[in-house]
Amino acid sequence: MTGTTAAAVLPPTSDADPFDAAHLEHPEPLHRALREAGPVVHLSRYDVHALARYDEVHTALVDWQRFQSAAGVGLANFRHEKPWRTPSLLLEADPPHHDAPRRVLREILAPPALRRLRDTWSSVAEGLVDSVLAERGAEFDALEALAAAFPLRVFPDAVGLGPDGRENLLPYGNMAFNAFGPRNDLVKADADRVAELSAWVNDRCAREALGDEGFGARIWAAADRGDLTHEQAPLVVRSLLTAGVDTTVHGLAATLYAFATHPEQWRLLRERPELARVAFDEAVRWQSPVQTFFRTATTDVTIAGTTVPEGGKILMFLGAANRDPARWQDPDRFDLTRDPSGHVGFGMGIHQCVGQHVARLEAETLLTALARRVDHLELAGEPRRHLNNTLRSWASLPVRVRRAR
């Protein structure tokens, strides 16, 4: 040390709005610009610091002590702004409050607990693919017919949700994921449904509303054992209903889009169906269905020479980190032969997606059923995005398929 204080480096600034329609529709150019501008970029529009490089995103994700979640993982800072709903006990909490709900849900959603679902989900997937091919023929919207239909068939059943009102699940998720962004037109468009959809979801979290077999009942049983309080149980059920539907729908859509645009990768999957799981993870890396989350600095925190002030919001670009050329070879390629592990599409650290094994099982059973029956798929028209402040989501995914003989 020379006796001088290391000068605080002022980060580059950008006035881009990552939540405007153009960037949501086509985020890669902004991701590249932010990665290239520096390890930390100040976004003047929102007065937040953005991380778009893999190393810095990874660092923030694993350092929950300095990058907290309890002040909200959206733009809204819960220290000053009232959250739109009771904060999640998982997503919007830190240790020690986070630990009990996390432990309970981790056990319920762990691979051994999911084993009994595999056979059922495989036959549902096979029946679904058969009926789509029989009834719709060679061309159909793979978003609606497969990517949405399959999770909507298996996941609510696994939770133990009753049959009525399931059409509310995707709109509720869409609203919740929009709510992590700024109060822009996407948020305003759903403002008139917040009360109705929230009431429906909250009612579904009650013990009486849930079957006595599923994930929901197991959450309530954990409360009976004293692993959770009875006040916490419905909120943990709510996490399943918020995080478990739109994410998998658009993760599956991303996977089908990847294959429809990479026929040689579909051929490889048909030759080696055991690649189904890695294919899903590679699609999650390549498309990053959850594009962004925020953290809040618990202290003045210096990242690569830039100091983010205590209480400041940090925007982590998971999608940009997942295509950082400093971390990934040929990052823009969808490639089943790479090892996508280490991607941050499911997050990293103590908050890493607790439902990822559920998502992988859905993907594996659906892709396996499809790969057995279809030997080629391609786009049959221009796919359309559905814009959301957090999710990289789809409005339609027209495909043409050829049946395997």
Site residues (CB under 6 A) for ligand 4MI? Answer: 88, 90-91, 239, 242-243, 247, 290, 353
Which residue, 291 or 365, has its beta carbon nearer to ligand 4MI?
291
Closest CB 86 distance from ligand 4MI, rounded Å: 10
Residues 6+ apart with CB under 8 A from 199: none
Closest CB 122 distance from ligand 4MI, rounded Å: 26
Q: What DSSP string describes 355-392?
A: THHHHHHHHHHHHHHHHHHEEEEEESS--EEEE-SSBE
Distance from C-alpha of 342 to C-alpha of 244, rounded to nearest angstrom: 21
Closest CB 160 distance from ligand 4MI, rounded Å: 18
Which residue, 149 or 284, has its beta carbon nearer to ligand 4MI?
284
Closest CB 260 distance from ligand 4MI, rounded Å: 25
- Long-range Cβ pairs for the range 216-223 (8 Å, 24+): 216/159, 216/160, 216/161, 216/240, 217/160, 218/108, 219/104, 219/105, 219/108, 222/104, 222/108
Closest CB 250 distance from ligand 4MI, rounded Å: 11
Which residue, 297 or 391, has its beta carbon nearer to ligand 4MI?
391
Closest CB 174 distance from ligand 4MI, rounded Å: 12
Distance from C-alpha of 366 to C-alpha of 252, rounded to nearest angstrom: 9
HSE, side-chain direction, 13 A CA sphere, residue 328:
25
Closest CB 106 distance from ligand 4MI, rounded Å: 13
Which residue, 214 or 289, has its beta carbon nearer to ligand 4MI?
289
Cis before 263 (ω within 30): no
Which residue, 11 or 72, has its beta carbon nearer to ligand 4MI?
72
Distance from C-alpha of 22 to C-alpha of 19, rounded to nearest angstrom: 8
Distance from C-alpha of 311 to C-alpha of 382, rounded to nearest angstrom: 43
Closest CB 88 distance from ligand 4MI, rounded Å: 3
Helix, coil or strand: residue 76: coil
Which residue, 132 or 290, has its beta carbon nearer to ligand 4MI?
290
Q: Do 324 and 343 form a contact (C-beta atoms < 8 A)?
A: no
Please list the alpha-helical segments (H only) found in 109-168: 111-136, 142, 149-159
Which residue, 82 or 405, has its beta carbon nearer to ligand 4MI?
82
For 301, phi and psi rounded to 5 degrees?
A: -125, 125
Beta bridge partners of 399: 140, 379
Which residue, 243 or 320, has its beta carbon nearer to ligand 4MI?
243
